[in-house]
Amino acid sequence: MSPGAVLAAAARELYQRGWLPGTSGNISVRLSADTALITASGRDKGALTESDTVLVSVDTSAAVRPEAPRPSAETTIHTAIYRATKAEAVVHTHSPYATAVATRAGNRAELSTVDFRDFELLKGLGLRDPSATSIPVFPNHADVPRIAAEVERYLIEHPDAPPVLLIEHHGLTTWGADYAQARNRMECVESICQLSLLLKGRAFS
């Protein structure tokens, strides 16, 4: 399968799980040192096809070909992650439990963190110490490049940060060495957030 067909099939699968409602969410894979393929903006992710993907520059976040569809509105966040980490794939969802945790834990104006401890699924995140982690929660600025700049600065200043970020009132982003790993991490975090909410308050200790 071509990278575009892989992205489209991935988006359809995440949509079926209920994690990309109402055209939300975006996925990208790195294709070379300076390029990544990302989902086009505003498309129904449950019906995505290969033609709904766009090649963008990791350096500028712009589409490589001017006639291409408009890339995701959140392309700058993906490219910030590619510049700041060794990620080869990035997944952004509006999965409900992670979004609820981000919204309860966040601070509208400033970066905060949410701490998780002792969940077996933390082992799915590739952490040096999987017994606990601190996930950053970024303010949901209307200006997406401002979110991206804060993400890039945080990841450069915290090289051991988990491959996960939350955006308040918005959603979840994970990344990994390939799409399968990024998606698997997303599923682990969504499940940890669900468990945290079931356990009421434990995510906010």
Where do we find the tokens 């982690």? 133
| Among 60-68, 71-79, 102-110, 130-138, the segment contacting ligand MRU (CB under 6 A) | 71-79
Which residue lies nearer to ligand MRU by CB, 72 or 112? 72
Contact between residue 148 and residue 131 where contact means Cβ atoms under 8 Å apart: no
Q: Please name the residue that has the structure tokens 């957030």.
A: 193
String of DSSP letters for 120-138: GGGGGGT-SSTTEEEEEEE
Binding site for Zn ion (CB under 5 A): 171
Supply the minimum distance, in Å, between the C-beta of residue 77 and Zn ion: 9
18 interacts with ligand MRU by CB under 6 A: no
Least CB distance to Zn ion at residue 191 (A): 20
Site residues (CB under 6 A) for ligand MRU, limited to 86-115: 92
- Cβ neighbours of residue 115 under 8 Å, at least 6 residues apart? 132, 133, 134, 135, 203, 204, 205
Q: How far is the CB of 105 from ligand MRU (least distance, A)?
A: 18
Binding at 174: pick from Zn ion, ligand MRU, none (beta carbon under 5-8 Å per type): none
Residue selected from 6, 14, 54, 74 as contacting ligand MRU according to rule CB under 6 A? 74
Buried b (16+ CB within 10 A) or exposed e, 144-182: beebbebbbebbeeeeebbbbbbbbebbbbbbbeebebb
CB of 144 to ligand MRU, least distance (A): 8
Q: Which 115-154 residues touch ligand MRU, going by CB under 6 A?
A: none
Given 13, 34, 41, 96, the residue binding ligand MRU (CB under 6 A): 41
Least Å from the CB of residue 119 to ligand MRU: 26
Full DSSP string of 145-200: HHHHHHHHHHHHH-TT--SEEEETTTEEEEEESSHHHHHHHHHHHHHHHHHHHHTS
Residues that bind ligand MRU (CB under 6 A): 22-26, 39, 41-42, 72-74, 92
